[in-house]
Structure 1
C-alpha cells in the first residue's frame, strides 16, 4: 500500500515536472512594431513596397506606376481597410486590393498590413 502511494506520488511529480517544461507554441501576430513576434518597421516597409510593385502596380497589374500618387494611395489604403474588414466600398481599387489575396495565399492579413504600412509611410497619409 505504501509502495503504491510512493509510486503514485513519484509519477505525479514526474508528470508535473514534464508539463512544466512543455511550452505551447507561440506564433507571431504579424503586427508591425519592435517587440517579439512583430515585424520590424523597416522590414514591413520593404515587404510592403515589394508587394505593391509586384502585385498592385506593374505592367500586368491593376494599376500602372504613373497612376500611383498620394490620392490613389489614400484610396488604396481605404480599400485595404474595407477589404480587411470584409466590407464593400464600391471603389475601383477594391479589385486591385483583392489581387493581394489571390488563391493559395495564406498570409492575406499580413500582406494587406505591410502594403498599407508602405503606402501610409511613402505618401505620408
Structure 2
C-alpha cells in the first residue's frame, strides 16, 4: 500500500472516530421510568415512537461508523501481519547467512596452509 493511501486511510479513520465521538457525546442514557407505561401512565405513544425513531437513527449511524472503521482496521491488520511475516522471513535469512559466515570463518581459521610439495 502506498504512503498516500495509508495517509488517506488514516485520515478516514480519524474522521470516523471524530464522528463517533460526536455521536457518543450527544447520546443520552434512557430514563426507562419516564417511558415505561406501567410506571408513567401519562406517557403517550407518539413520544415513545419519536424516541424510537431517534434511537434508530443513532443505531444506524453507530453501525455504519463501526463497519467502516472495522474495515479500515482489518485492512491495517492484514498489512501489518504481512509486514511482520516478511520481517520473520528476513530475520531467518539473515541468521542463516550469519551462521554460514561463522562456519566459513571457523573453517578458514582451522585450515593450515601448506606449500606444494
The answer to whether TM tops 0.5 is no
Normalized against structure 1, the TM-score is what? 0.29
The structure that is helix-richer by fraction is: 2
Rg larger for: 2
